[in-house]
Structure 1
Amino acid sequence: MPPATNLTSVLSRNASDPLRAWHLFSRLSISPSPPVITLSSISFLTRLLSRSNHLPQLESLRLLLLSLPSLSPSVSLLHLSLTLCSLSLLSPALSCFLSLRSHSPSVVPPLRLYSSLLHLSLKFDRPELVELIYKDMVMSGVKPDTFTYNIFMKHLCDSGQLEHARFMFDKMPQRNCPPNEHTFGILVNGYCRFGRSMEAMKIFYMMEQFRVSMNLVICNSLIWGLCKEEKIDEAEKLVDRMRKEGLFPNVVTFNCRITALCKAGKVLEAYSIFRDMQEDQEMGLPRPNQVTYDIMLDGFCKEGLVEEASALVSSMKSNGFFRRVESYNRWLKGLVKNGRLLEAQNLLVEMTKQGVEPNIYSYNIVIDGLCKAGMVFYARSVLNLMRKGRMEPDIVTYTTLIQGYCLKGNASAAGMVLEEMCKHGYFANNFTCNILLQSLLKEGNIYEADRLLEKMNAKGYGLDIITCNIVIDGLCKNGKLDKAIEIVDSMWQYGSAALGVLGNLYLGLVDNSKNNRKCQPDKFTYSIIISALCAAGRFTEAKKKLVEMVGRGISVDSLVYDIFIHSFCKNGKVSSALKVLREMGRNGCNPSLRTYNFLIWGLQNKSQTNEIVNLMAEMREQGILPDIISYNNLIRAFCEQQEVVSKALPLFEEMLQNGIAPNVTTFIVLIKGFFHVPDFDMAKELFDTALSTCGQRQALYSFMCGEFHNCGNFSEALKMLEVAIEKGFSVEKFPYISLLNELCNKEKVDEALHLINSMFDKGLLFDPAAFIPVIDGLNKRGSRIEANKLSENMMHMATELEASSHRLSLNNDRQERLKEKASAEGSWRALLHRDDGSGVALKVLKRVQKGWGQRGIPNPRMRKSDLIDWEPTG
Structure 2
Amino acid sequence: MAKRASWCYYRILQGFMLEFNHGKLQPAFATFIKRYGLIKPTLGKMLVHYLCMENNVDGALRLINELNNNNFKVNFPVDFIGMLSAQGRPLDAYRLVMGAQNDIPCMDVVDYSVLVDGLCKEGYIDKAIDICNFARKMGVILTVVTYNSVFNGLCRQNCLVEAFRLFDSLEMNNVIPSDVTYGTLIDALVREGFVLDARQLFEKMIIKNIKPNTHIFNSLIDGYCKFGNVKEALRLLYDMENHSLKPEKFTVSAVIYGFSLEGNMEAALQFFIDMQGNGFSPDFLGFLYLVRGLCAKGRMEEGRSIIREMLQDESVLRLLERVDGEMETESIERFLVHLCEQGSIQDALTILNEIGSMFFPCKRISSSSAYKPTASSEENMRVISPDALPSIHQMDFDAVYSKMTSLCSLGDLQGATALAKAVISGSTKK
TM-score by length of 2: 0.60
**Structure 2 Cα separation of the partners of residues 286 and 164 of structure 1:** 35
Find the counterpart in structure 2 of residue 201 from structure 1: 234
The one-letter amino acid of 1:241's match is: D
Kept in 1, the 8 Å contact 2:225–2:258? The answer is yes
Compared with structure 1, are the counterparts of its residues 230 and 40 closer, same or farther at alpha carbon in structure 2 (3 Å cutoff)? same
Find the counterpart in structure 2 of residue 219 from structure 1: 252
Q: Pairwise mapping of residues 251-330 of structure 1 onto structure 2 (< 5 A)?
A: 251-267=284-300, 269-274=302-307, 277=310, 287=317, 289=320, 308=344
Name the Cα RMSD after superposition: 4.8
Find the counterpart in structure 1 of residue 116 from structure 2: 81
Please report how far the alpha carbon of residue 227 of structure 1 lies from its aligned counterpart in structure 2 after TM superposition.
2.5
Compared with structure 1, are the counterparts of its residues 46 and 12 closer, same or farther at alpha carbon in structure 2 (3 Å cutoff)? farther
Residue ranges of structure 2 left out of the alignment (5+ in a row): 1-6, 23-49, 324-331, 361-365, 367-372, 395-409, 413-430
**1:574-615 Cα deviation digits (max 9, x unpaired):** xxxxxxxxxxxxxxxxxxxxxxxxxxxxxxxxxxxxxxxxxx
Q: Pairwise mapping of residues 345-364 of structure 1 onto structure 2 (< 5 A)?
A: 350-355=388-393
The one-letter amino acid of 2:97's match is: R
**1:303-346 Cα deviation digits (max 9, x unpaired):** xxxx9589759x96xxx97xx8x9xxx9x9966955x89x83x7
Find the counterpart in structure 2 of residue 172 from structure 1: 205
Q: Pairwise mapping of residues 569-608 of structure 1 onto structure 2 (< 5 A)?
A: none
Kept in 2, the 8 Å contact 1:8–1:44? The answer is no
Q: Residue 121 in 1 paired to residue 160 in 2?
A: no
Bigger share in helix: 2
Given the alignment, which residue of 239, 243, 247 partners 2:276?
243
**Structure 2 Cα separation of the partners of residues 335 and 253 of structure 1:** 24
Compared with structure 1, are the counterparts of its residues 13 and 95 closer, same or farther at alpha carbon in structure 2 (3 Å cutoff)? farther
Please report how far the alpha carbon of residue 92 of structure 1 lies from its aligned counterpart in structure 2 after TM superposition.
2.2
Find the counterpart in structure 2 of residue 50 from structure 1: 89
Given the alignment, which residue of 91, 98, 101 partners 1:63?
98
Compared with structure 1, are the counterparts of its residues 348 and 209 closer, same or farther at alpha carbon in structure 2 (3 Å cutoff)? closer
Compared with structure 1, are the counterparts of its residues 169 and 258 closer, same or farther at alpha carbon in structure 2 (3 Å cutoff)? same
Compared with structure 1, are the counterparts of its residues 47 and 238 closer, same or farther at alpha carbon in structure 2 (3 Å cutoff)? same
Kept in 2, the 8 Å contact 1:216–1:249? The answer is yes
The one-letter amino acid of 1:45's match is: L
**Structure 2 Cα separation of the partners of residues 201 and 37 of structure 1:** 55
Residue ranges of structure 1 left out of the alignment (5+ in a row): 301-306, 357-725, 729-874
Compared with structure 1, are the counterparts of its residues 82 and 284 closer, same or farther at alpha carbon in structure 2 (3 Å cutoff)? closer
The one-letter amino acid of 1:67's match is: N
**Structure 1 Cα separation of the partners of residues 52 and 88 of structure 2:** 9
Kept in 2, the 8 Å contact 1:39–1:79? The answer is no
**Structure 2 Cα separation of the partners of residues 62 and 16 of structure 1:** 15
Kept in 1, the 8 Å contact 2:249–2:282? The answer is yes
The one-letter amino acid of 2:306's match is: I
Compared with structure 1, are the counterparts of its residues 355 and 34 closer, same or farther at alpha carbon in structure 2 (3 Å cutoff)? farther
Compared with structure 1, are the counterparts of its residues 128 and 62 closer, same or farther at alpha carbon in structure 2 (3 Å cutoff)? farther
**Structure 1 Cα separation of the partners of residues 97 and 344 of structure 2:** 64
**Structure 1 Cα separation of the partners of residues 130 and 212 of structure 2:** 32
**Structure 2 Cα separation of the partners of residues 223 and 238 of structure 1:** 7
Please report how far the alpha carbon of residue 86 of structure 1 lies from its aligned counterpart in structure 2 after TM superposition.
4.9
The one-letter amino acid of 2:78's match is: L
| SS in structure 1 at match of 2:241 | coil
Compared with structure 1, are the counterparts of its residues 121 and 11 closer, same or farther at alpha carbon in structure 2 (3 Å cutoff)? farther
Please report how far the alpha carbon of residue 80 of structure 1 lies from its aligned counterpart in structure 2 after TM superposition.
2.7
**1:538-582 Cα deviation digits (max 9, x unpaired):** xxxxxxxxxxxxxxxxxxxxxxxxxxxxxxxxxxxxxxxxxxxxx
**Structure 2 Cα separation of the partners of residues 127 and 265 of structure 1:** 44
Kept in 2, the 8 Å contact 1:160–1:190? The answer is yes
**Structure 2 Cα separation of the partners of residues 62 and 7 of structure 1:** 27
**Structure 2 Cα separation of the partners of residues 162 and 124 of structure 1:** 19
Kept in 2, the 8 Å contact 1:121–1:129? The answer is yes
Compared with structure 1, are the counterparts of its residues 351 and 181 closer, same or farther at alpha carbon in structure 2 (3 Å cutoff)? same
Find the counterpart in structure 1 of residue 125 from structure 2: 90
**Structure 1 Cα separation of the partners of residues 146 and 198 of structure 2:** 23
Compared with structure 1, are the counterparts of its residues 214 and 72 closer, same or farther at alpha carbon in structure 2 (3 Å cutoff)? closer
**Structure 2 Cα separation of the partners of residues 11 and 94 of structure 1:** 35
Kept in 2, the 8 Å contact 1:153–1:165? The answer is yes
**Structure 2 Cα separation of the partners of residues 22 and 285 of structure 1:** 47
Please report how far the alpha carbon of residue 65 of structure 1 lies from its aligned counterpart in structure 2 after TM superposition.
3.8
The one-letter amino acid of 2:96's match is: L
Compared with structure 1, are the counterparts of its residues 118 and 183 closer, same or farther at alpha carbon in structure 2 (3 Å cutoff)? same
Q: Pairwise mapping of residues 478-489 of structure 1 onto structure 2 (< 5 A)?
A: none
**Structure 1 Cα separation of the partners of residues 144 and 270 of structure 2:** 41
Find the counterpart in structure 2 of residue 458 from structure 1: none
**1:480-513 Cα deviation digits (max 9, x unpaired):** xxxxxxxxxxxxxxxxxxxxxxxxxxxxxxxxxx
The one-letter amino acid of 2:185's match is: F
**Structure 1 Cα separation of the partners of residues 286 and 378 of structure 2:** 29
**Structure 2 Cα separation of the partners of residues 47 and 312 of structure 1:** 44
Find the counterpart in structure 2 of residue 41 from structure 1: 80
Compared with structure 1, are the counterparts of its residues 65 and 195 closer, same or farther at alpha carbon in structure 2 (3 Å cutoff)? farther
Please report how far the alpha carbon of residue 216 of structure 1 lies from its aligned counterpart in structure 2 after TM superposition.
2.1
Q: Pairwise mapping of residues 366-405 of structure 1 onto structure 2 (< 5 A)?
A: none
Q: Pairwise mapping of residues 771-786 of structure 1 onto structure 2 (< 5 A)?
A: none
**Structure 1 Cα separation of the partners of residues 86 and 222 of structure 2:** 34
Compared with structure 1, are the counterparts of its residues 18 and 92 closer, same or farther at alpha carbon in structure 2 (3 Å cutoff)? farther
**1:768-795 Cα deviation digits (max 9, x unpaired):** xxxxxxxxxxxxxxxxxxxxxxxxxxxx
Kept in 1, the 8 Å contact 2:135–2:141? The answer is no
The one-letter amino acid of 2:101's match is: L
Compared with structure 1, are the counterparts of its residues 7 and 84 closer, same or farther at alpha carbon in structure 2 (3 Å cutoff)? farther
The one-letter amino acid of 2:292's match is: T
